[in-house]
């Protein structure tokens, strides 16, 4: 098998934590979690799914040592020493911000680089192709692949899962390593996503952000990634019949389906970084159907707002 990484593209609250954890229970697959946010998670002392601090997790320690031997940078000592990408967090998003790192100046630089990158990816392939060799993009992809390689080597796995969900990063990784990288395009009904984000932001803003994410994602995937190199999965479908979808996904990735992927219990200790609190509850709760309480939670005004802002793309993704 040459494929080395499955990159998950999904909006926030789109189900990527659960799907990545399921995949990570395969004997040949390691779910690394949100790789792009690893520096921040280390700097802020956040936890691995095993319960230890990431910096102190012995399993990650082996990976960081291996990575240090190939790059000269030990992320435990210098979390931001290896550029993976800008990976900024928004103030109204979920997840903590490392305020010592994410300064106004760095955010400005990241925005500028992001705008340039968006432009590069919108240009015709022949011109946009040169974009991937911009120094920041190129080193980010190489460093990320080195981290993937260190994890597969040390943990003796065939493949890693990266659930960082950054659309442009997915495209660049695939373009830099077309034989090694595959993309899982995971979607969830925008009304459900927005209902679950209302605690953090206005419904209108959540709908705009969801629409923006999917517009960009769909456009980038159509433009840059061969259809047979990406797998489309609706989160709701997955939770209703996880076995059916995992079998299909495994067949597509070239690994055999393993029933234990779907079984969470307290013996199964995994080591992934980032993700929502779901990751600590699965042994008790297991895989449950995606909640559809947006149907009762959203007002008629919300539904109408969503329809105006994001209705057409939601339908395009198969939601009625």
Interface residue list for Zn ion (CB under 5 A): 48, 50, 57, 59, 271
- In the bound state with Zn ion, the residue whose beta carbon lies nearer, of 48 and 233, is 48
For the bound state, the minimum distance from the C-beta of residue 267 to Zn ion, rounded and expressed in Å, comes to 15
- In the bound state with Zn ion, the residue whose beta carbon lies nearer, of 30 and 57, is 57
For the bound state, the minimum distance from the C-beta of residue 92 to Zn ion, rounded and expressed in Å, comes to 29
For the bound state, the minimum distance from the C-beta of residue 147 to Zn ion, rounded and expressed in Å, comes to 15
Tokens (6 digits) for 240: 């209703």
For the bound state, the minimum distance from the C-beta of residue 50 to Zn ion, rounded and expressed in Å, comes to 3
- In the bound state with Zn ion, the residue whose beta carbon lies nearer, of 21 and 171, is 21
Report the alpha-carbon distance of residue 247 to residue 218 in Å, rounded: 24
For the bound state, the minimum distance from the C-beta of residue 30 to Zn ion, rounded and expressed in Å, comes to 11
For the bound state, the minimum distance from the C-beta of residue 180 to Zn ion, rounded and expressed in Å, comes to 25
- In the bound state with Zn ion, the residue whose beta carbon lies nearer, of 5 and 32, is 32
Report the alpha-carbon distance of residue 31 to residue 25 in Å, rounded: 8
- In the bound state with Zn ion, the residue whose beta carbon lies nearer, of 13 and 271, is 271
- In the bound state with Zn ion, the residue whose beta carbon lies nearer, of 50 and 216, is 50
- In the bound state with Zn ion, the residue whose beta carbon lies nearer, of 46 and 59, is 59
For the bound state, the minimum distance from the C-beta of residue 33 to Zn ion, rounded and expressed in Å, comes to 10
- In the bound state with Zn ion, the residue whose beta carbon lies nearer, of 55 and 188, is 55
For the bound state, the minimum distance from the C-beta of residue 272 to Zn ion, rounded and expressed in Å, comes to 8
Report the chain's C-alpha Rg in angstroms. 19
Report the alpha-carbon distance of residue 189 to residue 167 in Å, rounded: 18
Pair 306, 192: CB distance under 8 Å: no
Give me the DSSP letters along the chain: ----EEEEE--TTSSHHHHHHHHTTSTTEEEEE-GGGHHHHHHTTPBBTTSSBGGG-HHHHHHHHHHHHHHS--TTT-TTSS-----PPPTTSSS---TTTS-HHHHHHHHHHHHHHHHHHHS-HHHHGGGGGSHHHHHHHHHHHHHHHHHHHHTT-SEEEE----HHHHHHHHHH-TTTEEEEEEE--HHHHHHHHTTTS-HHHHHHHHHHHHHHHHHHHHHHS-GGGEEEEEHHHHHHSHHHHHHHHHHHHT----GGGG---TT-----B---GGGGTHHHH-S-PPP-THHHHS-HHHHHHHHHHHHHHHHHTT--
Cα–Cα–Cα angle for 96, 99, 104, rounded to 5 degrees: 120
For the bound state, the minimum distance from the C-beta of residue 271 to Zn ion, rounded and expressed in Å, comes to 3
- In the bound state with Zn ion, the residue whose beta carbon lies nearer, of 53 and 307, is 53
């Amino acid at each position: 098998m040459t494929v080395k990484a499955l990159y998950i593209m999904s909006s926030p609250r789109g189900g990527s934590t659960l799907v990545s954890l399921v995949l990570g229970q395969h004997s040949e697959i390691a779910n690394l979690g949100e790789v792009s946010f690893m520096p921040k998670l280390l700097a802020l002392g956040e936890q691995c799914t095993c319960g230890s601090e990431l910096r102190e997790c012995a399993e990650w320690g082996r990976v960081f040592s291996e990575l240090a031997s190939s790059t000269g940078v030990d992320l435990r000592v210098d979390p931001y020493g290896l550029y993976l990408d800008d990976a900024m967090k928004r103030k109204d998003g979920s997840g903590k911000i490392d305020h010592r790192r994410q300064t106004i100046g760095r955010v400005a630089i990241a925005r500028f680089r992001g705008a340039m990158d968006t432009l590069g990816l919108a240009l015709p392939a022949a011109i946009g192709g040169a974009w991937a060799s911009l120094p920041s993009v190129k080193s980010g992809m190489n460093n990320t692949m080195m981290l993937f390689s260190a994890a597969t080597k040390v943990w003796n796995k065939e493949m890693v899962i990266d659930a960082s969900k950054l659309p442009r990063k997915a495209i660049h990784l695939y373009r830099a390593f077309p034989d090694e990288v595959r993309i899982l395009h995971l979607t969830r009904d925008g009304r459900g996503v927005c209902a679950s984000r209302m605690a953090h932001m206005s419904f209108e803003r959540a709908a705009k952000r969801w629409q923006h994410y999917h517009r960009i994602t769909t456009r980038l995937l159509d433009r840059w990634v061969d259809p047979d190199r990406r797998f489309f999965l609706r989160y709701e479908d997955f939770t209703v019949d996880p076995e059916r979808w995992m079998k299909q996904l495994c067949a597509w990735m070239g690994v055999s389906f393993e029933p234990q992927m779907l079984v969470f219990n307290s013996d199964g200790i995994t080591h992934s970084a980032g993700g929502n609190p779901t990751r600590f509850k699965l042994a008790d709760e297991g895989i449950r159907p995606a909640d559809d309480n947006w149907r009762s939670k959203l007002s008629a005004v919300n539904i109408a707002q969503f329809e105006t802002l994001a209705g057409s793309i939601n339908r395009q993704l198969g939601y009625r």
